[in-house]
Amino acid sequence: MERAASPSRSLALERVTEAELAAQRPWLSELARSLTGDGDDAADLVQETLVVAWSTPPSRVQSLRPWLAGTARHLFWRQLRTKGRRARRETWASSADEPFAVDATGLMELEERERDVMRALAHVREPYRSTLRARFVEGHTSADIARRAQIAEATVRWRTKMGIAELRRLLGLDAPRRAGHA
């Protein structure tokens, strides 16, 4: 391994040797155990840190130890973030399955509600009716509807809001607002 000294006594490492990494392993293992609190996770963290050191050594360091410690801490926090995201996704996925489980009775009720909405939609005044139909029945975006009707996108959003309010009134769903809510 070649090292070039700079005026600040930094080391330029082109490649870290296996012997240098092996010498760092004991204290790095202790650091990893203190971070993870688990022997298996600590061993994984040490291995990942050493792989980073071997494949992409620091360009300039006073000593290899502080650089390895910083790398291990960075990898540890990255693993924590990854585990947290995975846990949130798994929680969401497990809870997301339940609302879609509909029995035959529930399916019939859902179809009846759809028919009620479509009947009420026929009584919504224009231009709200055509905006709601384009948005929710045909599946167009506000931008698509605005472009097609040659109106501002804000106008489409306003018509959608007003149309939904009228539709809710026709369906008897315009319950009074709770105190403190607009």
Maximal C-alpha separation, the chain: 84
Confidence category of residue 99, pLDDT binned at 50, 70, 90? low
List where CATH 1.10.10.10 sits in the chain: 103-171
Phi first, then psi, for residue 128 (nearest 5°) are -65, -40
pTM given for the model: 0.44
In this prediction, residue 2 has a pLDDT band, given cuts at 50, 70 and 90, of very low
Is-contact 33 45, C-beta < 8 A? Answer: no
Burial letters 106-116, b for 16+ CB under 10 A, else e: eeeeeeeeeee
CA dihedral 25, 31, 34, 37 (to 10 degrees): -40
Tokens of 121: 């939609």
CATH assignment of 3-96, among 1.10.1740, 1.10.8, 1.10.287, 1.10.10: 1.10.1740
* CB-based contact 25:39 (threshold 8 Å): no
pLDDT exceeds 90 at position 37: no
- What are the tens digits of pLDDT across the range 5-34? 444 444 445 566 788 888 889 999 999 999
Note the pLDDT of residue 156.
Answer: 95
Q: Give the tokens for residue 66.
A: 């502080």
* Percentage of the chain exceeding pLDDT 90: 35
Q: Residues 44-59: what's their mean pLDDT?
A: 86
Q: Locate tokens 């609302």: which residue? A: 99
Residues of the chain with CATH 1.10.1740: 3-96
The CATH number given to 103-171 is 1.10.10.10
DSSP state of 11: E
Helix, strand or coil, per DSSP, at residue 177: coil
Instruction: State the chain's mean pLDDT as an integer.
Output: 81
